[in-house]
Structure 1
């Protein structure tokens, strides 16, 4: 399959509902499940499906995304031939109407011309799922489709499989046809001659497009079956490896039904929460139903419930941060929360 399918990830999407978490990073780089980023899922799915050439097309705030991906080593994409490619948008002012912007692709046509793969898989960057794309390609070829749309219960997942030569044609003729992206082509099937097919994905998935969906998707991972459905032994989800010591659980600490990453120091109580790398939770502090991102420091005698703390947040002693499942209390990256500030 490595000579057949090219991976293309559109990382230009911006959701207003995730503004609080995407002020300093792209949507693709938003942390998830304690140690992953959203892009890890589609990128790992591609690698597990035998794809060895992946192009990522970002637009805004992509420094953290580049830092996370690096050379692609953690996904076995640091290769002399093929591998991981990064193509930032040359025009920040042009709006993106859908997944797979043809104008963005047009600025990097050499990649498509030089790649040796015959087909291309174009995908968004914000869907959390675990899927093998090999059956999609097999069916696409056997049925003679021009474009295959991956769906779930007849709803498009905004993932498209297309012959590379047709993709190049669509890019080069975009001014004549008026098609700006793959979504336009699919939506206009009544007026073009392309054979459109759908492939039904049967597994679980969630598209992260708001704080509410982000919070709920993380919380569902605390259910054993949800975790098993997403993190499959034969189709692992890869991420950036960080060599950190194990988490320390001090005397008096209590942890129940939570995901705890490496390098933490826990002296308080944690229940039904996701704790990322390097987090400090002080004595007498209670954290429930919350998402705490990397290197946050929560000092003594604090209460956090239904809260999302972005990276490097410091919570001063005796502070209460209380939200709800429908409206979590979100704290922006690198800020300080104190008892007097919240009174």
Structure 2
């Protein structure tokens, strides 16, 4: 697919249900599985399909996203030809529910017109999956469709494969047709295009709320789901950080959890996901929770069904309890004390 397909990732989506995790970052940059970001999955899927030119179209709070992806080196996209491109949006527009703003694309039309790839794959940034895009291209070519839309369990994944020339035409005629994005095209009952459906049968989770984020994270603790998502012959890449192994001190107990590098654990961790460089104090108990990078959990704290964002400090003796259907969220860089028990 390397000389045939252009990768286009829409990173402009804002989900109101994830606002607690999107105050300081874009949706694409939300941490997941202890050491990844949401965008890592679709980007890695493109790289594994030998796509060598990928354009990221961000809009909100994209500094952390650019810091994470850098030049694309960790995805083998730091190239003299093609590679990884960023096209931030300066366009102010109303609510748009679909993926792939044609106005945003139009502001960067040179990228599409100069590309030599015959096809363009347009995706969202918030689907966690390990998908092989090669069969999608094969079916698209065989059927001769104008648009191939990818589905999972009967629901659109908001991923589309089209010819690049066709995409350029949609962008250039947007004012005449009234189409603002790809979903406008496929849902228009009066369109004259041939639209096909590709059904993906592997594991996939679309993250659009705190509840779906928490549920997908907890699913990772199931070996069956983990093995479907993380495959040796189809790896998920992320930014490499050289950190020491985690230290388990006297009194530490870890069960059914994912622990990233660089942590220091003295307490009890059960059924949880612990990101890099987290410190869990003596006698602390962390259950059914997600603790993000560099957060510190004080001695004798009790956390159950909570999401702790990055750089949070939980003071000694603090008790916080949420539920699987409504996890309690602590914002990035804040602190919680024993007098603020939940």
- TM class by shorter-chain length? over 0.9
- Report deviation, 1:94: 4.3
1:65-104 matches, within 5 Å, as 65-104=65-104
Q: Secondary structure at the match of 1:191?
A: coil
| Structure 1 position 232, deviation (Å) | 1.2
Report the Cα offset of residue 95 of structure 1. 3.4
Residue 218 of structure 2 corresponds to residue 219 of structure 1: yes
Match for residue 322 of structure 2? Answer: 323
Q: Could you tell me the TM-score, scaled by structure 2's length?
A: 0.99
Corresponding residue for 1:229?
Answer: 228
Alignment: residue pair count: 342
Correspondence for 1:271: 270
Pairwise CA distance, 1:247: 0.2
1:203 aligns with 2:202: yes
1:106 aligns with 2:106: yes
- Matches of 1:185 and 1:103, distance apart in 2: 14
Residues 252-304 of structure 1 deviation map (CA, whole Å, 9 limit, x = unaligned): 11000100000000001000000000000000000000000000001100000
Gapped regions of structure 1 (runs ≥ 5): none
Once the 2 structures are TM-superposed, how far is the Cα of residue 341 of structure 1 from its aligned partner? 2.8
The 5 Å alignment of 1:1-343 reads 1-188=1-188, 190-342=189-341
Contact 1:97 1:180 in 2 (8 A): no
Alpha-carbon distance in structure 2 between the residues aligned to 1:226 and 1:281: 27
Structure 1 residue 205 displacement after superposition: 0.6
Q: RMSD between aligned alpha carbons? A: 0.9
* CA deviations over 1:76-97 (Å, ceiling 9, x no partner): 0000000000000021444333
CA distance in 1, matches of 2:121, 2:39: 15
| 1:251 CA drift (Å) | 1.0
Moved over 4 A (4+): none
CA deviation after TM superposition for structure 1 residue 340, in Å: 1.4
Q: Distance in 2 between matches of 1:94 and 1:269?
A: 47
In 2: Cα distance, 1:200 partner to 1:320 partner: 45
SS at match of 1:340: helix
Provide the TM-score with structure 1 as the length reference: 0.98
Q: Distance in 2 between matches of 1:191 and 1:95?
A: 23
Distance 1:288 1:88 in 2: 39
Whether contact under 8 Å (1:60, 1:92) holds in the other structure is: no
